[in-house]
Amino acid sequence: MSVGIRHDDLRRRNRAMVISAVRRAGQPSRTEIAATTGLSHSTISAISADLIHEGILTESKASEPTALKRGRPQIGLAQNPEAAAVLTVVLSLNFLSVAVIDYAGQVIAEEQQRLDTLVMPRDELIGECVAIVRRRLQDPDLDLGSVARIAMGIQGITDSHSRAMLWSPITPLTDIPFADILEKEFGIPATTENDCNMMAVALQWRDPERYRDDFIAILLSHGIGMGLVLKGALFTGTHSSGGEFGHMIHRPGGALCRCGRRGCVEAYAGNYAIWRSAMGISEDAAPTDVGDADMRALAAKARQEDGPEREAYRRAGEALGFGLGSLFALIDPAPVAMVGVSAAAFDLIEPALREAIAQTAGGQHSKSISFDTEPNELPLIREGCAMRALTFVDQEIFAPGGQARAGKHVA
Amino acid sequence: MSVGIRHDDLRRRNRAMVISAVRRAGQPSRTEIAATTGLSHSTISAISADLIHEGILTESKASEPTALKRGRPQIGLAQNPEAAAVLTVVLSLNFLSVAVIDYAGQVIAEEQQRLDTLVMPRDELIGECVAIVRRRLQDPDLDLGSVARIAMGIQGITDSHSRAMLWSPITPLTDIPFADILEKEFGIPATTENDCNMMAVALQWRDPERYRDDFIAILLSHGIGMGLVLKGALFTGTHSSGGEFGHMIHRPGGALCRCGRRGCVEAYAGNYAIWRSAMGISEDAAPTDVGDADMRALAAKARQEDGPEREAYRRAGEALGFGLGSLFALIDPAPVAMVGVSAAAFDLIEPALREAIAQTAGGQHSKSISFDTEPNELPLIREGCAMRALTFVDQEIFAPGGQARAGKHVA
DNA sequence: GGCTTTTTTTCGAGCCTCAAAAAAATAGTG
DNA sequence: CACTATTTTTTTGAGGCTCGAAAAAAAGCC
Q: Name all protein residues with C-beta less than 7 A from any atom of nucleic acid chain D.
A: A 4-8, 29-31, 41-42, 45-46, 48-49, 69-75; B 7-8, 10-11, 14, 38-43, 46-47, 66, 68-73
A with B: how many residue pairs have Cβ under 8 Å apart?
176
Q: For residue B232, what is the nearest residue in chain A, using CA coordinates?
A: A1
The rounded Cα A215 to chain-centroid distance in angstroms is 12
pLDDT exceeds 50 at position B5: yes
8 A C-beta contact, residue B243 and residue B228: yes
Q: For residue B359, what is the nearest residue in chain A, using CA coordinates?
A: A261
8 A C-beta contact, residue B227 and residue B201: yes
pLDDT at A367: 75
pLDDT at A94: 93
- Angstrom CA distances, A76 to A33, A46, A50, stand at 10, 16, 16
The shortest CB-CB distance from B17 to any of A4, A330, A359 is to: A4
Nucleotides of D under 7 A from a protein CB: 5-13, 15-22, 24-29
Q: Which residues of A touch B21 (CB under 8 A)?
A: 1
Burial classification of residue B51, based on how many CB atoms lie within 10 Å of its CB (0-12 exposed, 13-18 middle, 19 or more buried): buried
Cα–Cα–Cα angle for A394, A399, A402, rounded to 5 degrees? 125
Through-space separation of residue A56 CA and nucleotide D13 C1' in angstroms: 29
Through-space separation of residue A66 CA and nucleotide C30 C1' in angstroms: 25
Q: Which residues of B touch A253 (CB under 8 A)?
A: 359
pLDDT exceeds 60 at position B330: yes
8 A C-beta contact, residue B244 and residue B302: no
The shortest CB-CB distance from A332 to any of B239, B329, B409 is to: B239
Q: Is the CB of B31 under 7 A from strand C?
A: yes
pLDDT at A61: 66
8 A C-beta contact, residue B266 and residue B247: yes
Alpha-carbon gap, residue B81 to B58, rounded angstroms = 9
pLDDT exceeds 70 at position B216: yes
8 A C-beta contact, residue B302 and residue B201: no
- Amino acid found at A390: L
How do residues B218-274 score in pLDDT, each as one tens digit? 999 999 999 999 999 999 999 999 899 999 999 999 999 999 999 999 999 999 999
pLDDT exceeds 90 at position B174: yes
Range from B40-49, B289-298, B361-370 carrying the lowest mean pLDDT: B361-370
Rounded to a whole number of angstroms, the CA Rg of chain A reads: 23
Through-space separation of residue B30 CA and nucleotide C8 C1' in angstroms: 8
Through-space separation of residue B40 CA and nucleotide C11 C1' in angstroms: 15
Q: What residues contact B364, with CB distance under 8 A and at least 6 apart? A: none
Interchain CB distance below 8 Å, A3 and B17: yes
Residue ranges of E strands in A291-394: 336-339, 371-374
Q: Which of A237, A229, A218 is nearest to A159 (CA)?
A: A237
Interchain CB distance below 8 Å, B6 and A264: no
The shortest CB-CB distance from A326 to any of B14, B249, B407 is to: B249
Residue nearest to nucleotide C7 (CA to C1'): B72
Q: Which of A285, A293, A346 is nearest to A320 (CA)?
A: A346
Interchain CB distance below 8 Å, B250 and A247: no
Q: Which nucleotide is nearest to A70 (CA to C1')?
A: C27
How do residues B32-81 score in pLDDT, each as one tens digit? 999 999 999 999 999 999 999 999 999 986 545 556 678 888 999 999 99
Ramachandran area for residue B124 (φ above 0: left; ψ -120 to 50: alpha; else beta): alpha
How far B143 CA lies from chain A's nearest CA (Å)?
34
The shortest CB-CB distance from B410 to any of A36, A329, A332 is to: A36
8 A C-beta contact, residue B110 and residue B117: no
Alpha-carbon gap, residue B375 to B3, rounded angstroms = 44
Q: What residues contact A26, with CB distance under 8 A and at least 6 apart? A: A76
Q: What residues contact B32, with CB distance under 8 A and at least 6 apart? A: B25, B74
How far A11 CA lies from chain B's nearest CA (Å)?
9
Q: What residues contact B294, with CB distance under 8 A and at least 6 apart? A: B275
Q: Is the CB of A262 under 7 A from strand C?
A: no
Q: For residue B407, what is the nearest residue in chain A, using CA coordinates?
A: A38
Interchain CB distance below 8 Å, A37 and B239: no
State the average pLDDT over residues B111-130.
Answer: 96
pLDDT at A5: 87
pLDDT exceeds 50 at position B404: no
How far B68 CA lies from chain A's nearest CA (Å)?
24
Through-space separation of residue B52 CA and nucleotide C20 C1' in angstroms: 36
DSSP conformation class of A39? -
Interchain CB distance below 8 Å, B363 and A261: yes
How do residues A304-322 score in pLDDT, each as one tens digit? 999 999 999 999 999 999 9
Q: Which of B126, B120, B128 is nearest to B172 (CA)?
A: B120
DSSP bridge pairs for B170: none
8 A C-beta contact, residue A164 and residue A213: no
Q: Which residues of B touch A251 (CB under 8 A)?
A: 251-252
How many CA within 13 A on the CB side of residue A72? 5
- Amino acid found at A329: A
Alpha-carbon gap, residue A210 to A204, rounded angstroms = 8
Alpha-carbon gap, residue A291 to A271, rounded angstroms = 9
How far A73 CA lies from chain B's nearest CA (Å)?
21
Interchain CB distance below 8 Å, B334 and A359: no
Q: Which of A167, A163, A199, A161 is nearest to A178 (CA)?
A: A163
8 A C-beta contact, residue B355 and residue B363: no
The shortest CB-CB distance from B326 to any of A4, A5, A326 is to: A326
Q: Which residues of B touch A264 (CB under 8 A)?
A: 361
pLDDT at B2: 63
Q: Which residues of B touch A357 (CB under 8 A)?
A: none
Alpha-carbon gap, residue B300 to B289, rounded angstroms = 19
State the average pLDDT over residues B148-169.
Answer: 96
How far A56 CA lies from chain B's nearest CA (Å)?
19
Alpha-carbon gap, residue B203 to B198, rounded angstroms = 9
Nucleotides of C under 7 A from a protein CB: 4-12, 14-21, 23-28
How far B217 CA lies from chain A's nearest CA (Å)?
14
Q: Is the CB of B75 under 7 A from strand C?
A: yes
pLDDT at A359: 92
- Amino acid found at A337: A
3-state SS, one letter per residue, for B360-405? CHHHHHHHHCCEEEECCHHHHHHHHHHHHHHHHHHHHHCCCCHHHH
pLDDT at B66: 58
Interchain CB distance below 8 Å, B326 and A239: no
Average pLDDT, chain B: 92
The shortest CB-CB distance from B10 to any of A5, A252, A326 is to: A5
Range from B90-99, B211-220, B357-366 carrying the lowest mean pLDDT: B357-366
- Local confidence pLDDT in tens for the 411 residues of chain A: 467 888 888 999 999 999 999 999 989 999 999 999 999 999 999 999 999 999 999 998 654 555 567 888 889 999 999 999 999 999 999 999 999 999 999 999 999 999 999 999 999 999 999 999 999 998 877 765 689 999 999 999 999 999 999 999 999 999 999 999 999 999 999 999 999 999 999 999 999 999 999 999 999 999 999 999 999 999 999 999 989 999 999 999 999 999 999 999 999 999 999 999 999 999 999 999 899 999 999 999 999 999 999 999 999 999 999 999 999 999 999 999 999 999 999 999 999 999 999 999 877 777 789 999 999 999 999 999 999 999 999 999 998 864 433 322 222
Interchain CB distance below 8 Å, A247 and B3: no
Q: Which residues of A touch B405 (CB under 8 A)?
A: 38
Cα–Cα–Cα angle for A14, A17, A18, rounded to 5 degrees? 90
Alpha-carbon gap, residue A316 to A273, rounded angstroms = 8
Cα–Cα–Cα angle for A238, A239, A243, rounded to 5 degrees? 70
8 A C-beta contact, residue A370 and residue A402: no
Interchain CB distance below 8 Å, A247 and B331: no
8 A C-beta contact, residue B223 and residue B400: no
Alpha-carbon gap, residue A13 to A401, rounded angstroms = 10
Ramachandran area for residue A104 (φ above 0: left; ψ -120 to 50: alpha; else beta): alpha
Through-space separation of residue B3 CA and nucleotide C14 C1' in angstroms: 26
State the average pLDDT over residues B205-220.
Answer: 96
Q: Which residues of A touch B20 (CB under 8 A)?
A: 2
Q: b/e per residue, A262-292, with b = 16+ CB within 10 A?
A: bbbbbbbbbbbbbbbbbeeeebeeebeebee
Query: What domains appear along chain B, each with residue ranges and CATH number?
Result: 7-79 (1.10.10.10), 83-198+379-397 (3.30.420.40), 209-376 (3.30.420.40)
DSSP character string of B15-48: HHHHHHHHHHSSS--HHHHHHHH---HHHHHHHH
pLDDT band at B140 (very low <50, low <70, confident <90, very high): confident
Q: Which residues of B touch A410 (CB under 8 A)?
A: 36, 38
Alpha-carbon gap, residue A61 to A46, rounded angstroms = 19
Q: b/e per residue, A207-241, with b = 16+ CB within 10 A?
A: eeeebeebbbbbbbbbbbbbbbbbeeebbbbbbbb
Q: Which residues of A touch B331 (CB under 8 A)?
A: 237-238, 242
Interchain CB distance below 8 Å, A38 and B322: no
How do residues B368-379 score in pLDDT, each as one tens digit? 899 999 999 999
The shortest CB-CB distance from A361 to any of B2, B261, B411 is to: B261
pLDDT at B61: 66
